[in-house]
Amino acid sequence: MAVDGSMLNLPKTPAMFRAFSGQRMTKKRGGLVLPMARFSQLYDIHSDVTWHAIVQPSSLSESVAAADHLEHAPAKSLILYDRGYPSYFLAARHILLKRDFCMRIPRGFSAETDRLFKTDQPSSVFQLIPNHNAQALCKEHDMAAGPLKLRAVRVMLNTGEVEVLLTSLLDPDLIPDADFGELYALRWSVEGDFRHLKSRLQLENWTGKRVECIEQDVHARVLAKNLSTTLVFAAQAQLDAERAQKIADDLPVRKHRAKVNATAALHLCKFALVAFLLQPTLQTLEPLIAQIVSNTNAQRPGRSYPRKQTSGKSTRYPMAYKQTA
C-alpha cells in the first residue's frame, strides 16, 4: 500500500481559513494567502482503491495524517512513503501496530543513513534513537520510546542519483537489497491516482462554500473513484481471461495487451452510479462492465518519460487536464 497527500485549493471565504488555515504564495505569484486543505489517502497499489481518506488543515503535517491511516491498513501490510514522512514516531507507530513500511529518506536524517549516501555500502541495520521531541510525542500517545532496529538500503536510480530507503523489513532473505528499487517504484501509482481525482473527477471544483461541502465532495469523489476502479478491475480481468483463452486455443491475438480506458470507464459509471447505490446488485453492473470492456487502449510496455516540472498550483481554478465528459 502507499500513503501520500496533496494540497487542495479551497473557496476564498473566512470559514475556509478558520477550518483549514492557509498557505502564502510566493511574491512572484502575488504573495496571497490562500485557504488550503491537506488531502491524504491510504491507497492499495494492487487494486487502485483508496482504503481511507482524510481532509485536514494544511497546517498539520503529513505524518499526522499518516499515523491516522495506520489503524485502517490491513494486517501485515507494507506501506510505502515519500521522503516527507520519515520520523521516529511514525516508524514506532508502524512497529506497534505490526505494519511494515518503506520510506525514502532525505539527507541529514541520521548519521547512519547519511553514510549510505556517501559510500558504496548496499545496506545497514542500525538503532534509531529518539530525540527529546520524539520522546514527548510518544509519551503523549502512550507509546514506548526505546531504540528501534531498522534497515537502511542504498538504491541507485537510472539517472545515476542515489536514494536511501528506510524500512522495517530486516530480513534480507525476505526482500534482498537489490529488490528495493523495484519495490519503491510501485509507489508512483498513488501519484497517478491524485491526477485521476483532481483532473478526471475535478476534486477541487467544489459544489459549495461550507466546510461540510468540502468534506462531502472529497469523500463522494473518492467513493465514485473506488466504484469505477473496482469495475475497471473486473473488466480488465475479463479481457485478460479472453486473451489467455485465445492463446491457449492457438488463435491470433493483438501484439499488445488491451488495457481498459479508465477515463472512459469513469464517464460510463457516472450514468450508473446512482442506480447502483439504490440497487447494488450484479444485474445492475453487468451491462456497465460490458460497455467498459469495449473501451480499451493498447498497453505498450517499457515506455517512460521524464517528469515535467510545473510552475505550481493555480490560485484560482481547479486542475485542467482531461475531463470525463
Cα–Cα dist 316/2, whole Å: 30
In this predicted structure, which of 112-126, 158-172, 257-271 has the lowest mean pLDDT? 257-271
- Over residues 208-217, the mean pLDDT reads 94
- Over residues 116-129, the mean pLDDT reads 92
Q: Give the pLDDT of residue 273.
A: 79
- Over residues 289-310, the mean pLDDT reads 76
**In the chain, what percentage of residues exceed pLDDT 90?**
54
Residue 108: CB atoms within 10 Å: 9
Supply the pTM of this predicted model. 0.85
pLDDT at 216 over 60: yes
Q: Give the pLDDT of residue 29.
A: 53
Residue in the block written with cell 529518539: 130
Cα–Cα dist 88/83, whole Å: 13
**What's the mean per-residue pLDDT of the chain?**
87
Query: What are phi and psi for residue 299, nearest 5 degrees?
Result: -95, 110
- Over residues 3-26, the mean pLDDT reads 86
pLDDT at 312 over 70: no
- Whether 144 and 88 have beta carbons less than 8 Å apart is answered as no
pLDDT band at 323 (very low <50, low <70, confident <90, very high): low
In this predicted structure, which of 125-139, 240-254, 270-284 has the lowest mean pLDDT? 270-284
Q: Give the pLDDT of residue 301.
A: 74
Q: Give the pLDDT of residue 268.
A: 86
- Over residues 321-325, the mean pLDDT reads 52
- Whether 324 and 205 have beta carbons less than 8 Å apart is answered as no
pLDDT at 304 over 70: no
Q: Give the pLDDT of residue 325.
A: 46
**C-alpha 318: how far from chain center:** 20
One-letter amino acid for residue 318 of the chain:
P
Cα–Cα dist 65/1, whole Å: 15
pLDDT at 15 over 50: yes
pLDDT at 235 over 60: yes
- Whether 173 and 293 have beta carbons less than 8 Å apart is answered as no
Report the range out of 61-65, 274-278, 316-320 with the highest average pLDDT: 61-65
Cα–Cα dist 130/138, whole Å: 9
Q: Judging by beta carbons within 10 Å of its beta carbon (0-12, 13-18, 19+), is residue 225 exposed, middle or buried?
A: buried
Q: Give the pLDDT of residue 82.
A: 94
Residue in the block written with cell 466504484: 227
- Over residues 46-75, the mean pLDDT reads 92
253-268 in b/e form (b: 16+ CB < 10 A) is eeeebbebbbbbbbbb
74-100 in b/e form (b: 16+ CB < 10 A) is eeebbbbbbeebbbbbbbbbbbeeebb
Residue 182: CB atoms within 10 Å: 10
